[in-house]
């Protein structure tokens, strides 16, 4: 089921006798949920078999229309659900159709909405204009004689191709908000999808001249608000159409919905253009360029500091010449800007793994306790897995064990049994570390501190890389991470440690593709 159809008006279906509706589980531990005609409340009940405390007993209200083959969904619970990957918060109402995938709680308990018999086969019925827009995932270029929408990768990327777009080796790439358009209201963020205007009078003529010179015009825009339910995709579609009509030129628009490989500065949108949406024509990277307002510029005069650097980093990742809107459209001179402190393309490969170099692993003591210190994403678990565990250390992690208390208890048992032990938690404050130092003293074993020598900028990069490559890791809440940073206290020997060492990351990748990805800029700011 196309994600575009999720937001579009439901197609009226002729009534069929004896039609039923049910939720078909997409995980083995779930069970089929049969729905009656009209309103159905579902949640954490015996009937659904869901025991997850994040799911309210009254999580969703599903109003089933058997004639139209649609379900009107209202979120009753505190925690959001999702439909086809799009988040829906408490109080939200959306229409779901046959084949849509519903997660009762966002990221959990997935079901497919099924009508039997299903709606009429759309291929046997005449298509209206809306059908032309709602094309399913496609791995081939669209017919450029008519405008078309593609919804790809389960809705993570949406591509619009207006009429008369011609593929070319020369690409003029642009961000959209703050580059092609700005708000009418003067607000930083638009009040609604009607709150826009062309940013400079010079924009239309500049773009038309580029088309005359053989360029293909492409917009690349991050729109996380669609995935969060703040903007309806159908409304945003109309905004795109309005912008194209105003400019009156053929344009291809790539829309990154939510996080992942398609969100700038990660080059997924550009890769889609190269591989699928340029009719096989190889792009000339020297002739092509990219323009964006998120350029990492400092505040200057009345102009505020740029909100991020993701457009400049997007161009750097691709090796494209970059311009700000002021440089490109108004001919202004470049201004100063800041790049992230951590440059992933220039990894420090000659640093010793442990500092000071005379630090022994394992130590000469028959039993010891090592307390790791570092924020999430600093490399603690990788160091434990690759270096300490093979040397016989028992690695203890509160997240895996379920609680800090369980971690403390297991530590006591390990030291009592004379097992070398490492505490693989953040341990950023003195109070947390003190518990383990005291346990080591109680069992008369040395306690060393190993601090991860990873900068905050690199930590942000590591977290972004992990989220792209390892779905098992849960997302790290930025607010929690900021709180941890404030709590950080540099460890000292006065706390009772026999030694404090610093750990530098070793760069080992599972594949060449992972290495290439890591060496790109992945963080927007």
For 160-180, the pLDDT digits (tens) are 999 999 999 999 999 999 999
Q: Is residue 219 part of a domain?
A: yes
| Amino acid 108: pLDDT | 86
Q: Is residue 523 part of a domain?
A: no
Name the pLDDT band for 132 (thresholds 50, 70, 90): very low
Pairwise CA distance, residues 299 & 305, whole Å: 4
Let me know whether 100 and 188 are in one domain.
no
Name the pLDDT band for 473 (thresholds 50, 70, 90): low
Rounded to 5 degrees, what are φ and ψ at 347? Answer: -75, 135
Q: Which residue carries 């963020």 as its tokens? A: 189
Q: Summarize the confidence of residues 178-183 as an average pLDDT.
A: 95
**Length of the chain measured in residues:** 525
Let me know whether 28 and 141 are in one domain.
no
* Mean pLDDT score across all residues of the chain: 88
Let me know whether 293 and 434 are in one domain.
no
Which of 493, 131, 126, 175 is CA-nearest to residue 325? 175
Q: Are 228 and 283 in contact (CB under 8 A)?
A: no
Let me know whether 186 and 226 are in one domain.
yes
Which of 133, 148, 159, 439 is CA-nearest to residue 275? 159
Pairwise CA distance, residues 482 & 465, whole Å: 19
Name the pLDDT band for 8 (thresholds 50, 70, 90): very low
- Does pLDDT of 11 surpass 70? no
Of 69, 91, 124, the residue at which a domain comes to its end is 124
Of 105, 124, 143, the residue at which a domain comes to its end is 124
| Amino acid 124: pLDDT | 33
Least confident interval from 64-78, 138-152, 328-342: 138-152
- Does pLDDT of 125 surpass 80? no
pLDDT in tens, 476-492: 777 778 888 888 999 99
Q: 493 or 483, which is more confident?
A: 493
Q: Is residue 117 part of a domain?
A: yes
Q: Summarize the confidence of residues 55-83 as an average pLDDT.
A: 93
Q: 478 or 285, which is more confident?
A: 285
Contacts of 32 (CB under 8 A, 6+ apart): 22, 23, 24, 25
pLDDT in tens, 406-444: 999 999 999 999 999 999 999 999 999 999 999 999 999
* Cβ-based neighbour number of residue 22 at 10 Å: 16
Q: Is residue 412 part of a domain?
A: yes
* CATH, residue 381: 3.40.50.300
3-state secondary structure of 440: helix
Percentage with pLDDT > 90 across the chain: 66
Let me know whether 387 and 490 are in one domain.
yes
Let me know whether 185 and 325 are in one domain.
yes
Let me know whether 97 and 189 are in one domain.
no
Q: Is residue 525 part of a domain?
A: no
Name the pLDDT band for 281 (thresholds 50, 70, 90): very high
| Amino acid 15: pLDDT | 39
* CATH, residue 313: 3.40.50.1000
Which of 68, 186, 162, 52 is CA-nearest to residue 107? 52
| Amino acid 344: pLDDT | 95
Q: Is residue 375 part of a domain?
A: yes
Of 124, 156, 187, the residue at which a domain comes to its end is 124
| Amino acid 122: pLDDT | 36
- Does pLDDT of 148 surpass 50? yes
| Amino acid 7: pLDDT | 27
Pairwise CA distance, residues 197 & 191, whole Å: 13
- Does pLDDT of 278 surpass 50? yes
| Amino acid 259: pLDDT | 85
Q: Which residues is 323 bridged to in the sheet?
A: 291
Let me know whether 192 and 300 are in one domain.
yes
| Amino acid 145: pLDDT | 60
| Amino acid 2: pLDDT | 28
- Does pLDDT of 127 surpass 70? no
| Amino acid 238: pLDDT | 92
Name the pLDDT band for 5 (thresholds 50, 70, 90): very low
* Cβ-based neighbour number of residue 153 at 10 Å: 16
Least confident interval from 53-67, 287-301, 387-401, 470-484: 470-484
Let me know whether 107 and 139 are in one domain.
no
Provide the number of structural domains found in the chain. Answer: 3
| Amino acid 6: pLDDT | 24
| Amino acid 302: pLDDT | 79
Let me know whether 112 and 139 are in one domain.
no
Let me know whether 267 and 301 are in one domain.
yes
Q: Is residue 398 part of a domain?
A: yes
Let me know whether 8 and 149 are in one domain.
no
Left if phi > 0, otherwise alpha if psi is -120 to 50, otherwise beta: which for 380?
A: alpha
Q: Which whole-number Å values give the CA distances from 402 to 52, 385, 432, 475, 478, in the listed order? A: 16, 19, 16, 17, 21
pTM, entire model = 0.71
Q: 130 or 229, which is more confident?
A: 229
Domain of residue 43, residue span: 3-124
Q: Which residue carries 């939720």 as its tokens? A: 23
Contacts of 278 (CB under 8 A, 6+ apart): 141, 167, 168, 171, 216
* CATH, residue 17: 2.60.200.20
- Does pLDDT of 109 surpass 50? yes
Q: Is residue 340 part of a domain?
A: no
| Amino acid 50: pLDDT | 86
- Does pLDDT of 262 surpass 50? yes
Least confident interval from 146-160, 362-376, 441-455: 146-160
């Amino acid at each position: 089921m196309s994600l575009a159809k999720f937001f579009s008006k439901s197609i009226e279906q002729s009534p069929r006798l004896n039609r039923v509706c049910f939720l078909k589980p997409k995980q083995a531990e779930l069970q089929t949920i049969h729905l009656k005609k009209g309103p159905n409340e579902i949640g954490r009940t015996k009937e659904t078999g869901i025991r997850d405390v994040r799911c309210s007993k009254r999580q969703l209200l599903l109003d089933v229309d058997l004639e139209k083959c649609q379900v009107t969904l209202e979120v009753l619970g505190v925690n959001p659900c999702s439909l086809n990957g799009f988040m829906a918060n408490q109080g939200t109402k959306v229409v779901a159709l046959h084949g849509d995938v519903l997660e009762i709680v966002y990221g959990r308990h997935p079901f497919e909405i099924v009508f039997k018999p299903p709606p009429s086969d759309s291929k046997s019925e005449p298509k209206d204009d809306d059908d032309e827009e709602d094309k399913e995932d496609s791995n081939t270029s669209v017919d450029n004689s008519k405008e078309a929408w593609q919804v790809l990768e389960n809705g993570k990327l949406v591509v619009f191709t207006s009429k008369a777009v011609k593929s070319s080796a020369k690409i003029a790439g642009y961000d959209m908000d703050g580059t092609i358009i700005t708000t009418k209201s003067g607000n930083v963020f638009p009040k609604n999808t009607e709150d826009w205007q062309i940013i400079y009078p010079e924009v239309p003529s500049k773009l038309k001249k580029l088309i005359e010179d053989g360029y293909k015009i492409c917009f690349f825009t991050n729109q996380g608000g669609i995935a969060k339910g703040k903007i309806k995709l159908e409304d945003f579609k109309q905004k795109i159409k309005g912008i194209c009509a105003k400019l009156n030129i053929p344009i291809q628009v790539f829309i990154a919905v939510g996080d992942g490989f398609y969100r700038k500065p990660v080059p997924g949108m550009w890769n889609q253009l190269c591989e699928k949406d340029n009719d096989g024509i190889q792009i000339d990277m020297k002739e092509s360029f990219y323009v964006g307002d998120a350029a990492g510029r400092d505040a200057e005069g009345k102009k505020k500091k740029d909100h991020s650097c993701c457009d400049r980093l997007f161009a750097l990742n691709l090796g494209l010449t970059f311009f700000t809107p002021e440089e490109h459209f108004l001919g202004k001179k470049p201004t100063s800007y800041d790049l992230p402190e951590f440059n992933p393309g220039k990894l420090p490969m000659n640093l010793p793994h442990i500092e000071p170099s005379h630090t022994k692993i394992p130590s000469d003591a028959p039993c010891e306790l090592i307390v790791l210190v570092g924020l999430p994403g600093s490399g603690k678990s990788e160091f434990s897995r690759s270096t300490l565990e093979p040397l016989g250390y028992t690695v203890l992690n509160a997240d895996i064990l379920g609680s800090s208390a369980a971690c403390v208890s297991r530590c006591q048992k390990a030291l009592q049994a004379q097992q070398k032990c490492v505490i693989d938690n953040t341990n950023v404050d003195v109070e947390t570390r003190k518990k383990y130092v005291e346990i080591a003293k109680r069992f008369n074993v040395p306690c060393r501190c190993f601090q991860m020598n990873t900068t905050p900028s690199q930590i942000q990069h590591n977290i972004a890389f992990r989220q792209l490559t390892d779905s098992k890791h849960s997302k790290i809440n930025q607010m929690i991470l900021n709180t941890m940073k404030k709590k950080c206290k540099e460890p000292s020997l006065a706390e009772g440690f026999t030694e404090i060492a610093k750990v530098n990351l070793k760069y080992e990748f599972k594949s060449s593709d992972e290495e290439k990805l890591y060496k790109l800029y992945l963080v927007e700011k």
